[in-house]
C-alpha cells in the first residue's frame, strides 16, 4: 500500500524503542506517555509502546467535557475515568491492545503523520489475516460534536482510520508538543468497548441510538479472524508494520521503565478527571 509519504530517516529515524509496559491504571498510562515525550526530547529516539489497562478505564479527549460520563457510576463499577493528553472522544479501554507512538513531526501535517502511522498499523495487522483499509472519508465533526450519540470515539471515523469493510477497528488520536508528536490508539480485540454506553449521561433513547451505532460502525479482531486473538502476536505484527513502513529498527524493552507516580521528567501531569 502506498502511503504517499517517505519512510526514510528524515521521518522518524531508524533506531526505535519498542516498550511493552504491561497493564496499569489510566493515570499511570497517560503520565507514562507524557514521560516518553520528555525522554524523546532528551534522546531523540522514537518510541512504539504497547500497554493495557488495570482497572478498566474510560479515557476522554483533552477537550471533551467530563460531564458526558457518569463518573460516579463508573467508579462504583471499578472503572477509572481519565483525560488523555490527545484529542478525540471517549473510549472504554478493556478488551483491546493500546499503542502509543512518540516521534518527530518532521514538518508533516497532523493528517500526513496520522496517515503514515495508520499505514504502519494496517501493514502489520494484515499479517494476522485481516484485510484492512484506511478510511478515505471523514465525518463532519463540527456537526457531530453537537450530537450526543457520538460521544464515544468509535461512533465515527476520520480520514485514515483503520477499517475492515467500512467498520472501525482502531481508534487513534494525536497531539503535538512543539515538533514532537504523541499518537495513541486502541486496537479492538473484543466487544467490551461497547459497554461505554452504560456510563454515558444520556437518555435511554439516545443510549440505544449510540449502542446501535457502535454495533454497526465497529469491528474487532476476534470477529474479523473468527478466533481467539493472541495479544503477543498482535504486538509482533504491529511492530513488523512499523519496521516495513517506517524502517524502524527496534530495541525491545519489557516491563515498566518507571514506577507508579515517578514521572518527574514528564512535561505535564494529568489528573484523574
**Active-site residue set:** 153
Residue 201, CB-side half-sphere exposure with 13 Å CA sphere: 9
Angle at 87 between CA 174 and CA 40, to 5 degrees: 35
Report the distance separating Cα 13 and Cα 154, nearest Å.
31
Query: What distance in Å separates the CA atoms of residue 86 and residue 54, rounded to the nearest whole number?
Result: 20
Residues 6 or more apart from 217 whose CB is under 8 A from it? 154, 155, 156, 157, 167, 168
Summarize the chain as % helix, strand, coil (round to 5): 35, 25, 35
- R_g of the chain computed on alpha carbons: 17
Q: Report residue 160: phi and psi, to 5°.
A: 65, 20
The C-alpha atoms of residue 84 and residue 27 are separated, in whole angstroms, by: 9
Contact of 200 with 69, CB cutoff 8 Å: yes
Amino acid at each position: 500500500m502506498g502511503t504517499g509519504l517517505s519512510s526514510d530517516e528524515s521521518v522518524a529515524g531508524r533506531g526505535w524503542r519498542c516498550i511493552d509496559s504491561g497493564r496499569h491504571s489510566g493515570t499511570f498510562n497517560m503520565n507514562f506517555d507524557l514521560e516518553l515525550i520528555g525522554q524523546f526530547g532528551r534522546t531523540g529516539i522514537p518510541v512504539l509502546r504497547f500497554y493495557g489497562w488495570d482497572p478498566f478505564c474510560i479515557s476522554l479527549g483533552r477537550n471533551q467535557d467530563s460531564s458526558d460520563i457518569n463518573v460516579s457510576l463508573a467508579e462504583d463499577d471499578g472503572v477509572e475515568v481519565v483525560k488523555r493528553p490527545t484529542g478525540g472522544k471517549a473510549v472504554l479501554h478493556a478488551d483491546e491492545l493500546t499503542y502509543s507512538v512518540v516521534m518527530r513531526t518532521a514538518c508533516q501535517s497532523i493528517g500526513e503523520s496520522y496517515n503514515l502511522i495508520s499505514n504502519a498499523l494496517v501493514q502489520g495487522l494484515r499479517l494476522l489475516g485481516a484485510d484492512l483499509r484506511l478510511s478515505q472519508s471523514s465525518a463532519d465533526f463540527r456537526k457531530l460534536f453537537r450530537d450526543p450519540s457520538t460521544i464515544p470515539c468509535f461512533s465515527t471515523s476520520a480520514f485514515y482510520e483503520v477499517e475492515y469493510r467500512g467498520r472501525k477497528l482502531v481508534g487513534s488520536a494525536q497531539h503535538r508538543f512543539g515538533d514532537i508528536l504523541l499518537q495513541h490508539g486502541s486496537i479492538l480485540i473484543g466487544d467490551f468497548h461497547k459497554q461505554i454506553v452504560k456510563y454515558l449521561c444520556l437518555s435511554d433513547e439516545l443510549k440505544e441510538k449510540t449502542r446501535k451505532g457502535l454495533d454497526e460502525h465497529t469491528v474487532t479482531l476476534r470477529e474479523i479472524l473468527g478466533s481467539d486473538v493472541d495479544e503477543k502476536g498482535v504486538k509482533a505484527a504491529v511492530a513488523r508494520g512499523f519496521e516495513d513502513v517506517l524502517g524502524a529498527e527496534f530495541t525491545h524493552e519489557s516491563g515498566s521503565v518507571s514506577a507508579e507516580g515517578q514521572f518527574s521528567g514528564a512535561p505535564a501531569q494529568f489528573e484523574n478527571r
